[in-house]
Amino acid sequence: MKCKVCGGDIKNYYLTGTCSCLNCGNRWSLADIIPDYAKYSKIISNINKANDIIQTETKPTSANEAKLMFKTAIMDCNRFNDHVSADLIGICEEGLKQVDLLAKYVKGKNLYDKMSYSSAMHELIKVPGYRDADAMVAICKEELEKERKKQLPWAVVFSLIIPAGVSLALKDFAGWPVAVCIILFLAGSAGLGYVLYRGGIPSIIIKVISFLGGGPLILYCVLAYGFHLSPGLSLTVAIGAPVALFILFAVMTEKKSK
pLDDT exceeds 90 at position 243: no
CA–CA distance, 221 with 137 (Å, rounded to integer): 46
What would the 3-class secondary structure string for 14-62 be?
CCCCEEEECCCCCEEEHHHHCCCHHHHHHHHHHHHHHHHHHHHCCCCCH
Which residues fall within 8 angstroms of residue 77, CB to CB, at 6 or more apart? 43, 85, 86, 88, 89, 92
168 neighbors 185 (Cβ within 8 angstroms): no
pLDDT band, very low/low/confident/very high, at 222 (cuts 50, 70, 90): very high
pLDDT exceeds 90 at position 145: no
Instruction: Please tell me whether residues 160 and 128 are part of one structural domain.
Output: no
Does the model's pTM come out above 0.85?
no
Nearest CA to 120 among 135, 131, 107, 132?
107
9 neighbors 21 (Cβ within 8 angstroms): yes
224 neighbors 172 (Cβ within 8 angstroms): yes
pLDDT band, very low/low/confident/very high, at 64 (cuts 50, 70, 90): very high
Mean pLDDT estimate for the chain: 90
Question: In terms of pLDDT, which residue wins out, 206 or 5?
Answer: 206
Q: What is the pLDDT of residue 226?
A: 92
Number of compact structural domains in the chain: 3
Instruction: Please tell me whether residues 18 and 86 are part of one structural domain.
Output: no
pLDDT of 91-123, one tens digit each? 999 999 999 999 999 999 999 999 999 899 999
CA–CA distance, 191 with 81 (Å, rounded to integer): 63
Q: Tell me which residue range forms the domain holding 142.
A: 37-146
For 48, 122, 164, 245, the CA distances from 106, given in Å and listed in that order, are 20, 13, 45, 48
Instruction: Please tell me whether residues 138 and 185 are part of one structural domain.
Output: no
Q: What is the pLDDT of residue 183?
A: 95
pLDDT band, very low/low/confident/very high, at 257 (cuts 50, 70, 90): low
Percent of the chain whose predicted confidence (pLDDT) is above 90: 62
26 neighbors 1 (Cβ within 8 angstroms): no
Instruction: Please tell me whether residues 16 and 62 are part of one structural domain.
Output: no
Instruction: Please tell me whether residues 139 and 44 are part of one structural domain.
Output: yes
Last residue of a domain, one of 89, 122, 146: 146
27 neighbors 17 (Cβ within 8 angstroms): no
Instruction: Please tell me whether residues 155 and 251 are part of one structural domain.
Output: yes
Question: For 226-258, b where at least 16 C-beta lie within 10 A, e where not — what string?
Answer: eeebeeeebbebbeeeeeeeeeeeeeeeeeeee
pLDDT of 159-204, one tens digit each? 999 999 999 999 999 999 999 999 999 999 999 988 887 777 888 8
